[in-house]
A and B are shown apart, each in its own frame.
Chain A
């Protein structure tokens, strides 16, 4: 009778135990993905470990409770001639199944507390990136580097979603998870983020990095990350922000330090070109004025 529920649970269990190791540095979500990614930072590992810890506790309790129910429903049926007992309370039992859960909770709270303290420690960062959420795109500013740009949904995704067609894995693997200008970051560097917004509340989230923070107009939230593996990591806005909430993704490209430094120089050079072009336009205008 409860076979349907139990095998669904069993399948999920097996899947989750087996699935995520291959996905430690997954750039996009995988089809049929059952479990959280372990990610590419110490933070994402903290999140994953906390998740698996509480999940396993729940599985054990679930087996005990649902197991007891299954046994009861089989053994204590009136149709099998079961005669009901008359007892209806047991103070010792109540105390035991109050105290033991409290102990289990305390045991879980210790690593969760340590992990959270670690996630909150933004001191001693080597660089800062300011992230601003807009309806419906992100702006990234490398503080003190004079590099800043917007990052919007890429043109191909925009074309597909306007067409109403059904994208497939073959033709659109990064559908809605791609942008025109990626956030390029150096690996093995502690990076601090300042996160805010210009209009409504958004949230910046890249699962591979292991955290999300709300981007709130008028408030500067902060967070930090240190990416261990080079790669491309994709995320999405995670707070309803209006009609295109689902269409303002995030792409982080993590590269070795040297490559990042070169990229930064090229970005600044691009800015200089832009500045001098702007000045060239302004000068004749000033002359005419």
Chain B
């Protein structure tokens, strides 16, 4: 029996040409890196749009943007952040870490993996082109401006950007579906012998479940936007009441995709946090099996709550009640996860390096977002919250201080493994604290704005809303600028820094920590021999 020490050094070298290495890559690590860099660039593009929004909303009155341009900013900000930043970042993390975590040499379908990534720059060029042509050169009518949710009839009033948006969404959907197929095939078929499903790292579990969600709902989005396309260009009337159709049907179809979509954006985040907290608490994740079942329950429930995005649309009472109860129910498995994370911390031996700071920040602030989510589920109250800044506050807490924080936590956690260098810990802490102070200035006052009556998606507002809007805008600019620090930290870590060991973190457990740092170009070309005591969840008793 070969020892597991010998196999890593077989094929350490990446292809030498730029095209061969990056454009024709079939390597999960390089493709992971491509996704992560792409996501970071899109994060700044989406962030610039957010700053345009916050700049206009800094004071009442219309100073900077015409209302139709403002609507393009809100629409594109969401599309870019959701489809260009958060989702690709998680795909990048999955690509890098899943094969390492299960002892596989690469993803099951490496060439499809390449195509999944390379579709994305083209998709975003399509999406951004109308906006860029308009803003930079005055050509055309600008980007889509009917909200990222694309509700008809408004979205059908869009000009030529509409077709670009639909095609871009189709391309992104194809990329996501192929990526999801790859993940399921890899996890179900390529685990090293002895890596049973219930011994896998939680991050792999959350990604496996997310992949099923993606396959289930991305085609639904494709169907919805295709029906929009034919309504606009081919005289169908799916969503046109005058032709016998129904605008509300679009909302049902869209949100049947849209709700699982938000869980697609948060389940891998749960996985990341479930890897990081045990490492820095030096204590196993509390309730591993419960965490797996809770994740699966959340995924199942995510399919039957979609109409809570539509409580004011005029649904019958029975429908409202069903969706209210089902939505409230999601709080239960989510709460179980939060309690389990806290129990992992309890009676641990904690240190607070940057990944742990972001992970703990996630638990606290995602929970705050969860609270506003529970409030939104209560329909009589939702009649006052719907389409106000209360909703904006809710989803930014779960997506920014939730998903984005988990991505940053993951980046700090795994950067030493990826690059072979430790990042600058002092700067990392500065990044965390600056981000946290500013992000709360940015989004917490938005709860009050919504409760006071400020609607969403408006470029101007009554003077009573001015004070909290100014605070929020200051928070926005502070948060945005703080992210430049993150770029600097990542870039300088990639270029150099203290040498990282294979294990990197004292409390880290799992196969990924048995390979050298930086991880060689090819790892586990022969399957590792699994030692249960070295795994995070090797003890099957829990």
Contacts and interface: CB of A to CB of B under 8 A. Distances in A.
Report if A and B associate in a common complex.
yes
Interface of A: 2, 4-5, 8, 12, 28-37, 44, 46-48, 50-51, 53-55, 57-58, 61-62, 65-66, 68-69, 72-73, 76-79, 82-90, 93-94, 97-98, 101-102, 105, 108-109, 112-113, 115-117, 119-120, 160-161, 163-169, 172-177, 199-201, 203, 205, 207, 210-214, 216-219, 221-222, 235-247
A201 B385 CA distance: 18
B231 interface: no
13 contacts: A4-B437, A12-B444, A30-B452, A33-B451, A51-B378, A51-B381, A58-B371, A69-B360, A72-B350, A207-B384, A242-B145, A242-B154, A245-B457
Contact of B363 (A37, A69, A119, A166): A69
B343 interface: yes
Interface string B464-484: 111110000000000000000
Contact of B345 (A44, A76, A165, A210): A76
A176 B460 contact: yes
B489 interface: no
Interface stretch (B36-44, B124-132, B313-321): B313-321
Interface of B: 59-63, 66-68, 71, 145-147, 151, 153-154, 157, 240-242, 246-248, 281-290, 312-314, 317, 320-321, 324-325, 328-329, 331-332, 335-336, 338-339, 342-343, 345-352, 360, 363-365, 367-368, 371, 374-375, 378-381, 383-388, 436-437, 440, 444, 447-448, 451-468, 539, 542
Given A85-B348, A97-B339, A105-B331, A219 B60 contact: no
Contacts of A79: 351
Contacts of A161: 61-62, 460
A216 B67 contact: no
A105 B151 contact: no
A4 B466 CA distance: 23
B258 to A, nearest CB: 15
A116 B382 CA distance: 11
A243 B71 contact: yes
Contacts of A97: 335-336, 339
B478 to A, nearest CB: 13
Nearest to A4: B437
Given A97-B336, A167-B60, A177-B462, A73 B383 contact: no
Contacts of B360: 69, 73
B238 to A, nearest CB: 13
A5 B361 CA distance: 10
A48 B437 CA distance: 30
B462 A219 contact: no
A72 B364 contact: no
A46 B312 contact: no
Contacts of B345: 69, 72-73, 76
B455 A238 contact: yes
B378 A164 contact: no
A86 B283 contact: yes
Given A85-B347, A201-B153, 6 more contacts: A4-B440, A61-B371, A65-B339, A89-B290, A164-B63, A245-B458
Nearest to A96: B339
B448 A33 contact: yes
Contact of A212 (B151, B284, B387): B387
Given A212-B386, A216-B313, A68 B462 contact: no
Contact of A58 (B284, B375, B380, B384): B375
**Residue from A37, A83, A109 with most neighbouring chain B CB atoms (10 Å):** A109
A240 to B, nearest CB: 4
Nearest to A242: B154
B429 to A, nearest CB: 11
A84 B349 contact: yes
Contacts of B328: 105, 108-109
Given A217-B247, A240-B457, A117 B317 contact: yes
A92 B288 CA distance: 14
A221 B312 CA distance: 10
Nearest to B297: A98
A85 to B, nearest CB: 4
Given A51-B378, A88-B287, A98-B332, A116 B448 contact: no
Contacts of B458: 236, 245-246
Nearest to B539: A88
A66 B342 CA distance: 9
A76 B463 contact: no
A84 B242 CA distance: 67
Greatest chain B CB density within 10 A among A35, A47, A109, A214 is at A214
Contacts of A98: 332, 336
A47 B346 contact: no
Contact of B455 (A2, A73, A172, A205): A205
B317 A120 contact: yes
A211 B371 CA distance: 21
B320 A116 contact: yes
Contacts of A28: 462, 464
Given A78-B350, A109-B328, A172-B463, A69 B457 contact: no
Given A33-B452, A68-B342, A85-B283, A51 B375 contact: yes
B374 A58 contact: yes
A36 B384 contact: yes
